[in-house]
Amino acid sequence: MISLTSPVETWAHRIPAGAKLLALSIATLALFLLEPFMIAVATLAVAVLYLSAGLTFAAQGLRHLRMLWPFLLLIAVWHGVTGQAQAGAAIALRLLAALALANFVTMTTRLTDMIAIMTWLLAPLRRLGLSTRAVELAIAMVLRFTPMLVENGQRLAMSWRARSRRRPGWRIVMPMAALALDDADHVAEALRARGGILPDIHRRN
């Protein structure tokens, strides 16, 4: 899941989070059972799904997915070199469709609603005496900070291009890692200030 909730209100925002997550699970499973031709049709259907929410929403979703093209291209090229071009194209399209669907769900679902669903799904573990706070927090942090890391990388690349004609490439890796570590320190301090993530029984001991 790549992005946070889109500010562009769409029809999909009104669908309950649980229903969207269930549909996402079924659709993702179906993608791995389809034949190559049907995968291409499914990818086109995902594109239509984005367009049904409006051009502004679709453009925003495309910007979020743009980071995937080097990985998809690498998969397709590798399979082409090994004589499995059709299989490579099918794998690339399958991944693109699955990630695009996941992105669509996160763009049209509030983070609090997704966490509520995860809390409900983890309820059986709590009945066994296990704490699920760490899992819930980890899910929330992944959904929240993945787009932030992407934005940091884009800002660093823009800063580099403003100062040099050369492509940034690997040169922004260290500054990006430093920013990620700095954000992690701030989050850790905030968590400690609020009592951490340990269960109440551990705090009392």
- Total residue count of the chain as it appears in this document: 205
Q: How far apart (Å, rounded) are the C-alpha atoms in residues 131 and 147?
A: 27
Instruction: Return d(Cα 160, Cα 167) in angstroms, integer.
Output: 8
Q: Buried (b) or exposed (e) across 119-139, using 16+ Cβ within 10 A?
A: eeebeeeeeeeebbeebbeeb
Structural tokens at position 202: 């551990």
Cα–Cα distance between 50 and 179 in angstroms, integer? 32
Question: pTM of the prediction?
Answer: 0.67
pLDDT band at 203 (very low <50, low <70, confident <90, very high): very low
145-154 pLDDT, tens digit each: 776 777 777 7
For 113-171, write each residue's pLDDT tens digit: 887 887 787 777 777 776 677 776 777 777 667 767 777 777 888 888 888 777 777 77
pLDDT value for 19? 92
For 171, other C-beta atoms within 10 Å of its C-beta total 13
CA distance linking residue 179 with residue 183, whole number of Å: 6
Q: How many CB atoms lie under 10 A from the CB of residue 99?
A: 19
* Amino acid making up residue 134: A
CB atoms within 10 A of CB 173: 12
> Which residue, among 186, 162, 135, 153, has the nearest Cα to 2 in the 3D structure?
153
Q: Any idea where the domains of the chain sit in the sequence?
A: 11-110, 123-204
The Cα–Cα gap between 87 and 93 comes to: 10
